[in-house]
Amino acid sequence: MSDLRGKTVLITGAGSGIGRAHAVHFAGIGCNVIAHDITPAALAATLGELGEAGHSAIAFACDMLEVERFEDGIRALDQTHPIDVLINNAGIAGDGAIEEVDAPFIDRVFRVNVGGTISATRGVIAGMKLRRAGRIVNTSSNWGVVGHANSSIYAASKAAIMGLTKSWAREFAPWGITVNAIAPGGIETALLETSPERIARIPLRRHGRPVEVAQLAAFLACDAADYITGSVVNLNGGEDIVG
């Protein structure tokens, strides 16, 4: 993936977990990283980890729900550091039986997971169209593919990401911009709740590692994936295989 060296990558939700793995991996293969997160302290931790590895990044601390500020901030960054790759990673979990969740809960899950993805894409798309090139990698979920009891709102928000991915792939293709999504299963982060029973349901008998998500995103961003667009790639060790 040497063709990614020198490319500028914006990663939303880069302050921890999979987002931090994206930042470390893309920086490690020679990309210029713009790391976004809502929490300055989390961003500082990510930049510290990058620094220990001999890398650096631009920090962009902003609440995605402050839509105008968030989009304008991305457009301003694109003016000085043209963004070649957008990794739409930021999102929140949301569990609860449908009769237990309330309207504010539903609104927040969709505003962050779906609205944030839309806003970040709106921020980069004018520049990508002008340059007639770009890669957008969205983050769906295995639960968006197969559903999950007592997490229907979260699953629905991640299913919506798949719809955006397929629609944007068609919409942006005339400008040479590809749009794909990754649908991870259980990935080893601080948020993962696991059990021997769940591991037993995974054919590969383990959860995924954050770096494996980052490696797949890098492949979808590189020249070898130039003819791949509108795809949702499952990354789940064979758990809940469909199709």
Catalytic residues: 154
CA distance linking residue 113 with residue 129, whole number of Å: 24
Q: Which two tokens stand for residue 111?
A: 């505003």
> Mapped to the 3 state alphabet, what secondary structure does the chain carry?
CHHHCCCEEEECCCCCHHHHHHHHHHHHCCCEEEEEECCHHHHHHHHHHHHHCCCCEEEEECCCCCHHHHHHHHHHHHHHCCCCEEEECCCCCCCCCCCCCCHHHHHHHHHHHHHHHHHHHHHHHHHHHHHCCEEEEEECCHHHHHCCCCCHHHHHHHHHHHHHHHHHHHHHHHHCEEEEEEEECCECCCCCCCCHHHHHHCCCCCCECHHHHHHHHHHHHCHHHCCCCCCEEEECCCCCCCC
